[in-house]
Each structure stands twice: as structure tokens, then as C-alpha cells.
Structure 1
Amino acid sequence: MRLISGGYRRRLYTVGVLTFLALLLSGCAGVKIATVSTEDYIAQRRGDILTTRKLSASARDTLTSLAIVPEQCAKDIPHCTTRLTELWNLDTEQRMATLAEIWTQEALRLQGRRNARPEFAVELFDAYLQSARYAYAYLFFTDRRPGDRAFEDRQTQVRDYYNYSVQQATMLLFAKYHDTSFAFQKTIEIGKWRIRGDLTQVRGDSAPPPHELIPASQLTFRGVRSIYRRDGFGAEMVVVNDSENITPSIFQTTYSEPPFQAVTGIITFPGETLSQVLQTRDATIIGYDPYQQNSVQLKDVQVPLAANFTSAYGLWLARSDFSTQALRTVLGRDGGIESPHVFLLQPYDPDRRVIIMLHGLASSPEAWINVANEVLGDEELRSRYQIWQVYYPTNLPLPYNNAEIRKALKETFQHFDPNRTAIASNNIVVIGHSMGGVLGRLLVSSSDNLLEDAARDRYQLDDVSVAQMNKEFGSVVHFSPLPGVTTAIFIAAPHKGTPFAGNRISRLAAALITLPVTVVTQLNKLSQVAVGNTPAKEEMLILPNGVESLRDSDPFIQITSKMAISTQVRYHSIIANDTPKKDLLYSDDGLVPYQSAHLPGATSELVIPFSHSVQETPEAILEIRRILREQ
């Protein structure tokens, strides 16, 4: 037998005691340090039910502190809601925020179910309204105002629950009532809820029901550089007023307000106290025009109204098929347009100045995709301007288009402001690219007797023939600056024509162009006036088509380049230079020579190293915005 010394025995005893104590204490001690990445830190703070499909750290901490297992809460929402409502050791903000999030979780769970019971839609609608109501209570009926929590992530999350729930609840209502007037001016009942609608700010009482209601958050676009929106309160939507009549070939008038309209929706719950809001089963859906309203007052708090200024515009362009129609138009084929049409990009506003945009040859409103979007996205410009885009048949001769565009604009102003007293009818801005720049220049010029004298000399017209010409074609031969225009921006505009319009390829293209029958008939009348007085009876008066009228040898463009621009108009030039190795005076943009685009007396001139489609470059758009801001 081996003997163990006393000292060794004591050491064994000590080790045993220490081991026992370590085991005893291991269950109640131990703060350990672990590092997290910046990405994980942000995710932990800002991740929530909408971004990760998991409850936020804030909601989980709240539930855990109340001895509620978060996963169990998702399985029994009534029990969880009751406990959150009844437990006393929780402040109101935490309570309302957590309830808003778990009801959003419940709505998402119901939304994802495949085989729903008949009452599924009612349950889903109820879940979204519950979420919106608790979020509404958090924002406006707790001790602190929204401004007091401006820098808190939790408030941003709760606002998102509200906005998303309003969006989804509104979509559910539209899906059920879209084939009626949506019963928006009377109360409807869904489950235990009584819902009333108020769209008076965006639609008239007699307006037909919209065709579609699309969440702006679900839309993204190729070809648009930026999506411009405003953070705030409410659901950003696009109302499609007419899903078919979006191109001018089937419009009954020469102007139209947008078939796609930006709308911001909110849901309010009656009550002056938190208790009243939580007990109500009444709700009102209100629609706002974000161009007309920047904020909304709720419970004595002025909050910014959410908005999306790109989606309606982008959706209109995406569905219009302008590119195909523009090609048909320039070739004179079926499906094109035969006369100008004025598109208002937002409902007419008498208190905003009008920007008239004129596209170029073989083009359409698509030429202004980013220009218009950037102007609408600039808050200061958006508050002061509205955009009208003129879509015109570029196969027609310049003098004919000049007369028809003037007529279309006159009818549009006459409809909206017969007395021309509104801000919209004064200090108008004209922006034209390429052929549109030439037509824009004509809109601010005086013909005097230049065209009449030219026709008299060329065709040896007597006074009787001149009088007949003026009677039939006075608007073509005689014109003065368009009333109200005070600013013009000409972009890559061939004011003196271009030799490229006379080259072999351009001549071949011009040969393919066919003019509309109505235009040919009118030109024949003009021809008869001229030919009837010429020595050679067989001579015919032929006006060039759109391509031919841009030739630097064309008589009309030679005459119009000498017409005086109104002294009331400040005009600016944006010119492209695609030949950097040449002296500026002899440069061109691939289509238009500098000498043709340059206008003496311009308030400003900017030359941008780019090709002819310079209007879409960031440099050109910044220049346009600078000019508009200066006005």
C-alpha cells in the first residue's frame, strides 16, 4: 500500500473544493466579451419584421422582459396582445411600438398563406388596420411628440409599419371595390371595421373609378437615373386613371392631364385620447396630391407627407410605347400621330409656372426622361413649376408644325385659364431640343412680313393671291411671340439648318416619309394659290417634310433664322461638341454645326463635350436647373 502524505492530501482537498465552487458558480456568473462587425451592429439595431422577417431587437427585448417568448407570440397573437396591453411595467411607447410590429408580423403571416379560408381577407385587413392603429397611437398619442424622437431608429421602424400597413390595407380595399366608385364617399363595413374614404383632394366627386392602384414601392425603372421621393408619413401610390387612352391618337382634345397620378394615402383613427384611439373601430382613408401638399397636421403635429415623384411619370413612359409610335409618325405610317398633343405631367396648377418641352426629330416625350425627372425631383423647382410636354408629328414641315403647336398650346391655356390671369399663364419657359429647339425659337419670334414677302417674290403673287394665302394659311405665314413666354432654352438646335439633313442617308430617310392626307390636302390648296400665278403652270409648290425642312439650304429655315426674338424673352443656348479637335467655331455635335446652334445675344451659352442627344447629360440638366432657379 502506498502512503499519501498529509501535504499532498491537503492539496487534493483544496483542488476539490475549488472545482466544486467553480461548478456551483458557473450557472450565475459570466459576462463575456464578443466583438461584432459594423454590418452586424447596424443589422441588430435596425433589422425588424419588414427588413428581416424577424422581430426587431427592441420588440424581442420588450417581450422577453415581460416573460413572453417572442416565438410564442407569433403563434397566439390575441394572448400576446392581451398581455402587452394589461401588464403595467411597460411604458406606453414600448407597448405601442411592439404591438404595431407584432400585428405587422401577423399580417405578413396571413399574407403568405396559400390556401386561405373565406374569412382570410377580413382577417388580413384587420391585421393591417391593427398595425396601422398602434403605429398611429405611438406616433401621435404618447407623451413625446414625433419631433422629440427624430433621431431614434425605433420611430423610423414604427413609421414604416404604419406606411406599409396603410399601403396594404388600401390595396385590399381596391381589390374588392375597384369596379365601383369604391364607395369612397360613404361608410363601408369590413369585419368589425367601418371605413370611410376621402379622395376629394385628388379626384372630383364625378370622376370615374380608377383602373389601377399600384404601390410606388413596387416600381423600379431602367432608363431613369434617379427615383425622387420624399420621406414622410403615408403610403406612396400611383393611381391609373385610364390604362388605355395614354397616347394622343385616341384623345378627343389637344391636351390631357396625366393618366398616371401620384397619390399619398393615410389612414386616421378618431379619438382625442390614446384610449379612444385604441378602442375605435372606425377609420378614414384620405388621399393627397403630393404636388399640392407637403405636410399634414395630425393631433396638433405637422408631419411631412411621404411622396414619390418619379413613379407615376416613369409608369406613363413605360406603358406609352412612344418610341414605336414616334417612328411610325416620322415615316407617316398607321399608328402615328397627325397633330400635336400637350401632355400635362401633373394636374393643372394655376399657381405654378409652366415649362413647355419640345422634343426633336423622330422623337417623343421620352427624350425628356431624365430632364423632367430631375426638375420634378428638385423640391424648389417642383414647388414653382409644372411641366407640359408637347408631342408633335416630326414628319410635318416646320411652318406647319409651328402653326399647329401654337394652336394646341392656345387651346390648352384657353381651357384652363381663359382670362390668362393665373401664374401659369405668365413667365412661361420654353425648352426645345434639336428640331424642338427650332420650333421653340419660332414660338418666341415675330414673322413680320418675311414669309409673305418671300412667297410673293418667289411665286410672283399678286395682291389677290396674297390675300387668299393669308386667309387660308395666315397662321403659317404670320405669327408673333407666344404670349406669356419670358424664358427659352435651346439645346443642340439647328437654327440655321444643318448640312447633315441633306446628305445621302438623310435624303434616303426623307424619301421614306409620308405626310398625312389632311396635311397634303392643305398643302395642295397652298400650291394652287401659288401655281395659279406663276408663268409655268405646271410648277408645283412643294413644302419639305420634317427631315428636309432642317436642311441648311431650306428657304424657310433661312428666313426664320433672321426673325427677331422677342425682347421680353431671355434665351439660353446649350450646345454639344463632338469634335473636340476642331476649333469651336467649326465644330459640330455629329448632326448640328456650332455655327447653326449658336445664337448671338443669348443670356448664356454652355458648350458640352457630347453628341447630339446632349439634353440628357447631367451637365445639361444642371444647366437647365440653374437657369430655372434664376428665374
Structure 2
Amino acid sequence: MSNTLSTTSQTTLRRQNLLGTWRQSPPDAINRLRSMTQRQFYAQNLADQLFTLSELSYLYARKTHDKAYFMAAALYAYAYLNPQAPASERPSPFSQHFRQACDIYMLSLTEALGSPVHVSSQLWTLPFGTLNLDGVPTSYQWHGHNLTDLRPLARLSITGIENIYSQAGLGEPVGGLPHLSNAEDHSFTISDKLRVPLNLQVLVPSPRTQILSNTLQGHLALTAMDEAKPPNAPNPLQYDQTAARAVSLDETMDWSLEYKGFLDGRLFDQTNAAQLFAIEPHQYGHRPVILVHGTASSAARWASMVNDLMEDPVIRQNYEFWFFSYATGNPIPYSALQLRQSLLHTIQQLGGTQADPALGEMTLIGHSQGGLLIKLLAIQAEDKLWNGMVPKPLNSLKISDKYKQFLHETLFPSPLPQIKSVVFISTPQRGSYLAGFSLAHMVGRMVSFPLTVTEATRAVLASDPALRRLNMRPWRVGSVYGMSPRSAFIRSLSPIPVTPDITAHSIIPVTGGGQNLEKADDGVVTYKSAHVPYVRSELVVPHSGHSTQSNPITIAEVRRILLENLQNNSTTETLTKQDISTMGGLYQQPEQTQQAEAAQ
């Protein structure tokens, strides 16, 4: 908003001989113009005078920081827009002042109502009278949850998220925290820091009549973005959904936890924090998409992708996003077991697939190490993993049933029935060459593991003299060495395909143009390591580093996959592979398809 008067306001002041008064005494100019407008209520230039009163009050409020003038500016702007009147009596949306009046209304409410925003009943003393505002009904809830700590979003500057999305309309965009009664569940929760995008309005019946009286009556109205627009709100409502997401992440994230979670495998056990959380309550019919981050990373790394995907109405109406966090230095099978247990507990907590069949249509997306975690939930390993790592059958070891069960759960994984598709992003299927470097080994030696992992490892080594020769020192058990191409774990896991009942996709970034894939890598993982033959689709993202989650080609491919998943029982139009190719992605034909065509 400019500090200079618009041409319309200057013209209005000149016609009333008030321009000099405005320059010398703004309050006198506002009061005199208001009096003239009251006497000329049926004049043809009433709308221009209301707009001028709004602009004058706003500019004076910015100079004096007087909340009463900010509220007056909002009320004048609302009267000018007159949203409750027939369309013929409202200003044209093509008017040069229409959007400006909407902005004055929004910014004035932001300043008048402050932070946090109080939505209880309140009495205002205005420069010309009083305003009695009825508050938001105490019965108002968002998906059964009370909202607290409403914060204005209009003046925030957003960084760290690639694309900014907002919805133009009328009102003040705010973000509210849902008060969650189930936050004590430590397996799955709706984050208590993620804010709901809301619209707040001061609604005044018959605004052009009331604004020129000395006693005004109105009420506050609060509407969540995913709710139906109130029937008495003919205009679109303004929201700032990206700002709400950005504030959520800023308040949620302790960036040091990315490295603490890598070095301290006991982190989640000690803090008792939920490892699986959602950004909104589960809704019937919404298929969960579970995002699993990579090494020394966190859920915040998915921010740009989720921000973009949630703007697609088909995805927003059919999917919801859950985030899994884990101590990334721990052994990969142990972290995969935590993911499995969290998902099973959550499915049960939500009533199972009997309560909602959509819970049986899960998509898991894993980046880097996260891709290895999700693979362990999508394979029928039988004894292949164990035999590749330990030369003795598990049942032959003289260890307690407790440790046998633990080892069976971690190293004999089977597919989770509720998973229908998996997406590997930058995944070291055959290991990462960086994990083989001596520096990575040195860092791996600094990781501390949960007591269960340490005790189970010791029990295995002590159970048979022949096993004492196994090099199972703690640093070789952790994820860093586990991702080395030389590790027994990665060499045993890589040949095992995803079960045919689960559709797999690969997204593989390379730093070059993708012409010579045999020598290409993303700075961490080579193409040859990430490439597997059993996926339905493989997309190479050229000129992209390992952290490709924010790359628009990567995001578009995830969107295509999610829409394709809906095609089994829907006629939804999907983003095609040709669409991705025009953006610069390079599709590689899976080896199984190539072999089938060669046979023909």
C-alpha cells in the first residue's frame, strides 16, 4: 500500500475543499468529509467518498499506529465494497479501487485486531462512535478441534518454500492452532504446531447505512479454507495457505535435530515424540501418502513438494500427507521396523480398513535412505537378508526369544498389505559411494544406538563361537556403513525386488544432462546404484543434485504417480509422461519391459 493518496481521493478532497485541511490536520479532514457524506447520502459519488474515507483513515492510522483508525478504515472499506448488497449496487471488480479496498480491509483488520487475534465479543470506541462486535461462537470447531492462538499472515515474508500460494478474496488471512486432545499418542499425531489457514472477517449488516451512524453492530466470522463458504459471504474469501504452512514449519522445526537424530539413535526413545505425524486430521476416503526423509534430514525437507501437491484440487480431495521421522544413524532395518510399527498402530488407531478402505491404499515415498526404509516394507525377504549377513540360521542361535523375535521382525520383513505403491527418490539401491569413504566411517563411529540394537547384536555374537569372527562392531551396524556398496546388508537387499502386488516407481536425479547414465550421479548416489529393473516407471531428473524434492520435475512426477494411482477406480485426468518430458525429465524404459519387447 502506497503512502500517497490515490487520484480519486485527491479529487474528492478537492471537490469538498478539504485537501489543505488533510495536509494540516488529517483528523479534521476525515471528520468533515464524514459529515458531508452523511448529508449527501444519496449522492452519486457516495462510493468514491466511502473509498476516500477508508484510504484517509488507513493512511492516518499507519502514521499514528492508532488501532481505532485502523478499524474505522476497515469499516469504510467494507461499506465501499458493500458485499451484502445486490451485485448492481457493489463496485465493479474492474474498478481500480476494488482490490485496493480489499487490501485496506485486510491490512486494517490485521493491525486493528493485533496478534494473537482475539475473536471473543468486544466493544470498540471509534473516532466517530462505537462498534459492538459479537465474537465467533464458542461452538466453532475445525474437524472437531477447538482453534487457539490465531496469528495474522498478511504481512509475513516467506522464504525457504519455492512457490507461494494464496487465494484472493475478502478478509484477513490468519493461521490457527488446533487444540488436539489426542496429542499424547506417541505413535501418530496431528502436529500441534501446524497451522490451519483461516479467513477472518468483520461483518456488518447494511454497512452503508451503519457506517454513517454513531453506533455500529457487527460480528466476527471465522472460516477454515477446507470448509464450505458461509452462505452470507457472496465474495471469495482470502487465504494465505503457504504462509500458514511456513509458520507451521518455522515453529515446529529445530534444525539441530537433523544432526542430533543422526548421531543419537536414542533420540525418539528419550523424547517420547511421535515419529509419524499428519498435517491435518484423517478424512474418510483420503489415501495416506507417507513421506520418509533421508540421512541427517527431517520432514521439513518435503515442504515445497507438499505445498505444491496440496494446490492440486484432485490430490487435495483424495490424498493426505503423513510424515515419518527417525534417528537416521540407526541401522536401516531398525528404522524400517519403527516405520512399520507406526503405520500399523495408526491404521488400528483410525479403525482399520474396515472403517475406511482408503487406509488400505497407501503410497510410501522415500528419499535417499528413506527409500531403503520403504523398500523393507514392500518386499518378501524371507531369509535372504539374514543369510546374506549371518552364516547361521536364526533358530539355531542360543539367544532369548525376545531377541529372536526382534531380529525376525527387523531382518525377515514381508510386505505391509496396506501399501499399494512406493516411490524411490535418489535411493542408493546398491549403496552410496560416499558411504564407502573413510570420512563417512569416521562419522558413523560417532553414532550411539538404542539399547535394544546394542544388546541384540551382542547376543548374536555371543551365541555361537563361529559368529565371533563377524565384524559387527557398532559403526558397521549403523546406516552409514549399511549404505556402503561393500556392506553385507546392501548387497543382500539390492537383489530382492518389490513384491508384484506393490507398484514401484523411481525418480533419479543426475547432476549432468543425463546423456551418459552409466557414469552419471547426483553427488551422492550413482545412477547405476539407483536404477532397478522392477519399477513401473523411472524418471531421470537432469541437472539436479541429490536433494531433488523441491525440483519442479520431481514434484510433477510425484503428482503424475498419485493421479495415476487414482485411475484404477476413477476417470480423473492425469498428468502424462509426455507432460513431464516437456519439462525436461527423461523417462527410461524398465528392463523388464525391454526384455518383453525383445522377446516379441
> If the length of structure 2 is used for normalisation, what is the TM-score?
0.80
Cα separation, 1, equivalents of 2:534 and 2:369: 20
Match of 1:130 in 2: 75
1:80 to 33, 36, 45: 33
Residues 509/88 of structure 1: CA separation in 2 closer, same or farther (3 Å cut): closer
Match of 2:349 in 1: 415
CA contact (8 A) 1:323 1:366 kept: no
CA contact (8 A) 1:62 1:98 kept: yes
Cα separation, 2, equivalents of 1:439 and 1:82: 71
2:100 to 157, 165, 182: 157
Query: Partner of 1:266: helix, strand, or coil?
Result: strand
Moved more, 388-397 or 323-332: 323-332
Q: Deviations over 1:584-623 (max 9, x none)?
A: 2343223212222112132211112333223332222222
Moved more, 103-112 or 488-497: 103-112
Query: Partner of 2:490: helix, strand, or coil?
Result: helix
Moved more, 522-531 or 220-229: 522-531
Residues 626/206 of structure 1: CA separation in 2 closer, same or farther (3 Å cut): closer
Match of 2:277 in 1: 343
Residues 468/236 of structure 1: CA separation in 2 closer, same or farther (3 Å cut): closer
Residues 283/422 of structure 1: CA separation in 2 closer, same or farther (3 Å cut): farther
How far off is 1:100 after superposition?
Answer: 4.6
Residues 124/415 of structure 1: CA separation in 2 closer, same or farther (3 Å cut): farther
How far off is 1:549 after superposition?
Answer: 1.1
CA contact (8 A) 1:257 1:344 kept: yes
Match of 1:197 in 2: 136
Match of 1:223 in 2: 160
Q: Aligned AA for 2:76?
A: S
Alignment of 1:237 with 2:169, yes or no, is: no
Q: Equivalences for 1:466-615 in 2 at 5 Å? A: 469-515=403-449, 519-529=450-460, 531-535=462-466, 542=473, 544-578=477-511, 583-609=516-542, 610-615=544-549
Q: Aligned AA for 2:537?
A: S
Match of 1:360 in 2: 294
Match of 2:61 in 1: 110
1:139 to 83, 90, 106: 83
Residues 526/156 of structure 1: CA separation in 2 closer, same or farther (3 Å cut): same
How far off is 1:144 after superposition?
Answer: 1.6
Cα separation, 1, equivalents of 2:324 and 2:510: 26
Match of 1:52 in 2: 2
Q: Deviations over 1:301-331 (max 9, x none)?
A: 3x32222121122223334444321112212
Query: Partner of 1:214: helix, strand, or coil?
Result: strand
Cα separation, 2, equivalents of 1:410 and 1:252: 13
How far off is 1:526 after superposition?
Answer: 5.0
Q: Aligned AA for 1:613?
A: S
Moved more, 380-389 or 538-547: 538-547
CA contact (8 A) 2:394 2:404 kept: no
Q: Aligned AA for 1:90?
A: A
Residues 344/305 of structure 1: CA separation in 2 closer, same or farther (3 Å cut): same
Residues 61/492 of structure 1: CA separation in 2 closer, same or farther (3 Å cut): same
Q: Deviations over 1:253-283 (max 9, x none)?
A: 5433251313323325364796478767332
CA contact (8 A) 1:462 1:533 kept: no
Residues 109/621 of structure 1: CA separation in 2 closer, same or farther (3 Å cut): same
Residues 608/447 of structure 1: CA separation in 2 closer, same or farther (3 Å cut): same
Q: Aligned AA for 1:575?
A: I
Residues 567/288 of structure 1: CA separation in 2 closer, same or farther (3 Å cut): farther
Q: Aligned AA for 1:623?
A: E
Cα separation, 2, equivalents of 1:71 and 1:420: 74
How far off is 1:453 after superposition?
Answer: 5.2
Alignment of 1:293 with 2:227, yes or no, is: yes
Cα separation, 2, equivalents of 1:355 and 1:204: 20
How far off is 1:513 after superposition?
Answer: 2.0
Q: Aligned AA for 2:27?
A: K
Moved more, 98-107 or 230-239: 98-107
Cα separation, 2, equivalents of 1:430 and 1:325: 23
How far off is 1:284 after superposition?
Answer: 2.1
CA contact (8 A) 1:447 1:563 kept: yes
1:316 to 226, 231, 248: 248
Residues 327/536 of structure 1: CA separation in 2 closer, same or farther (3 Å cut): closer
Cα separation, 2, equivalents of 1:154 and 1:401: 57
Query: Partner of 2:64: helix, strand, or coil?
Result: coil
Query: Partner of 2:310: helix, strand, or coil?
Result: helix
Residues 318/532 of structure 1: CA separation in 2 closer, same or farther (3 Å cut): same
Alignment of 1:394 with 2:328, yes or no, is: yes
Residues 426/537 of structure 1: CA separation in 2 closer, same or farther (3 Å cut): closer
Cα separation, 2, equivalents of 1:104 and 1:416: 51
How far off is 1:101 after superposition?
Answer: 4.4
How far off is 1:434 after superposition?
Answer: 0.6
The CA RMSD measured in Å over matched residues stands at 3.6
Match of 1:284 in 2: 219
Q: Equivalences for 1:27-42 in 2 at 5 Å? A: none
Query: Partner of 2:231: helix, strand, or coil?
Result: strand
Q: Aligned AA for 2:244?
A: A
CA contact (8 A) 1:402 1:442 kept: yes
> If the length of structure 1 is used for normalisation, what is the TM-score?
0.76
Between the aligned residues of both structures, percent identity stands at 21
How far off is 1:500 after superposition?
Answer: 2.8
CA contact (8 A) 1:359 1:365 kept: yes
Q: Aligned AA for 1:195?
A: D
Match of 2:196 in 1: 262
Q: Aligned AA for 2:172?
A: A
Q: Deviations over 1:194-220 (max 9, x none)?
A: 33124755558874742xx43222222
Residues 489/68 of structure 1: CA separation in 2 closer, same or farther (3 Å cut): farther
Which of structures 1 and 2 has the bigger CA Rg?
1
Match of 1:22 in 2: none
CA contact (8 A) 1:128 1:169 kept: no
1:442 to 371, 376, 380: 376
Residues 53/406 of structure 1: CA separation in 2 closer, same or farther (3 Å cut): same
1:432 to 348, 361, 366: 366
Q: Deviations over 1:6-25 (max 9, x none)?
A: xxxxxxxxxxxxxxxxxxxx
How far off is 1:145 after superposition?
Answer: 6.8
How far off is 1:418 after superposition?
Answer: 4.3
Matched pairs, number: 547
Query: Partner of 1:131: helix, strand, or coil?
Result: helix
Q: Deviations over 1:105-124 (max 9, x none)?
A: 3244235327xxxxx65x34
